[in-house]
């Protein structure tokens, strides 16, 4: 007689085998490369704003920019499929991976990181599919974020909740900077297969790229905290408005230009990640 526990284990093994299959991992690597392309488009928009042009410097703006190119709809569907496979891959890692990571604490942290990546890639995959299907996605997230923040601020302890969210974003941003500067991203890579120049380039791109992303999202988190302290939801702007506002500050164009270059470095690093990701 097969018990429910046995059935659950069988289902878990089948799910693991499916997520760890060669086709899923291959498509997952395509997803990593696609993620790099999205970040390169994001960097282009940020640099465009930094040099006085117009644009929406965030991931949704990047997707819309890609959609407007010749063959953009096909490209977005390819990005969506690749990212979905990447989500499955990272969910498998979060559930069963890193058995050789050493201590239980280290294994737990690695699994949580994979779960976090799965969420990020899943949201982007949904957005890519929505834009590819003609459902938009290029509009500003600023109004939505303000409206949501305003609702939360009206709740009991709403200021505390918004403040905690802002602090959470700042903490994640700090982790990205730390991950870059301390080269923690190399834990996911198998650079033994890379040439010496390729290894040095990947390390430099990862360090600069993660730090730039951390700074960008750190600014967003800081503004969410300001919105909580001042009880003003209009302070909680999205990434596009945050970076566009930064460009209008003294020396802001230089800072935004530096962030754009850093994000471009991260976009290229994603291509190395796709080539040398463990698994």
Percent of the chain with pLDDT over 90: 31
Asked if pLDDT for residue 2 goes beyond 70, the answer is: no
The torsion angles phi and psi of 277, rounded to 5 degrees, stand at: -60, 135
Structure confidence by residue, pLDDT tens digits, 144-184: 666 777 778 788 888 888 889 889 999 999 999 999 999 99
Asked if pLDDT for residue 11 goes beyond 60, the answer is: no
Confidence of residue 1 (pLDDT cuts 50, 70, 90): very low
Tell me if residue 268 falls in helix, strand or coil: helix
**pLDDT score for 254:** 92
Answer whether 213's CB lies under 8 Å from 174's CB. no
Q: What's the first-to-final CA gap in the chain, in angstroms? A: 36
Whole-Å CA distances, 4 to 10, 11, 16, 87, 239: 10, 10, 18, 27, 46
Asked if pLDDT for residue 5 goes beyond 50, the answer is: yes
Structure confidence by residue, pLDDT tens digits, 82-135: 889 888 888 888 888 777 667 788 888 888 888 888 888 998 999 899 888 886
Please provide the average confidence, as pLDDT, over all residues in the chain. Answer: 84
pTM for this model (two decimals): 0.83
Q: What is the mean pLDDT of residues 247-256?
A: 88
The better pLDDT of the pair 197, 279 is held by: 197
Q: What is the mean pLDDT of residues 248-273?
A: 92
**pLDDT score for 93:** 82
Residue whose C-alpha is closest to residue 163's, from 233, 215, 112? 233
Whole-angstrom Cα distance, residue 214 to residue 46? 15
């Amino acid at each position: 007689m097969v018990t429910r526990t046995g059935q659950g284990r069988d289902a878990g093994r089948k799910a693991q085998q499916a997520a760890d299959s060669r086709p899923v991992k291959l498509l997952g690597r395509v997803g990593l490369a696609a993620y790099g392309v999205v970040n390169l488009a994001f960097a282009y928009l940020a640099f465009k704003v930094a040099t006085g042009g117009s644009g929406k410097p965030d991931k949704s703006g990047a997707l819309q920019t890609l959609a407007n190119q010749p063959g953009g709809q096909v490209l977005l569907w390819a990005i969506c499929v690749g990212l979905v496979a990447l989500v499955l891959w990272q969910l498998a890692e979060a559930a069963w991976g890193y058995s050789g990571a050493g201590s239980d604490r280290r294994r737990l942290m690695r699994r949580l990181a994979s779960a976090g990546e799965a969420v990020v890639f899943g949201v982007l995959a949904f957005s890519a599919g929505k834009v590819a299907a003609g459902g938009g996605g290029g509009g500003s997230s600023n109004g939505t974020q303000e409206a949501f923040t305003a609702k939360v601020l009206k709740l009991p302890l709403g200021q505390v909740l918004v403040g905690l969210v802002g602090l959470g974003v700042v903490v994640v941003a700090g982790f990205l900077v730390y991950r870059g500067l301390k080269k923690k991203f190399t834990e996911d890579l198998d650079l033994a297969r890379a040439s010496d120049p390729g290894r040095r380039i990947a390390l430099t791109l990862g360090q600069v790229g993660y730090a730039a992303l951390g700074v960008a999202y750190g600014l967003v988190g800081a503004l969410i905290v300001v919105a909580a302290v001042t009880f003003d939801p209009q302070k909680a702007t999205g990434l596009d408005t945050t970076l566009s506002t930064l460009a209008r500050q003294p020396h802001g164009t230089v800072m935004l230009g530096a962030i754009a270059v850093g994000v471009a470095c991260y976009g290229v690093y994603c291509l190395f990640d796709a080539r040398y990701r463990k698994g």
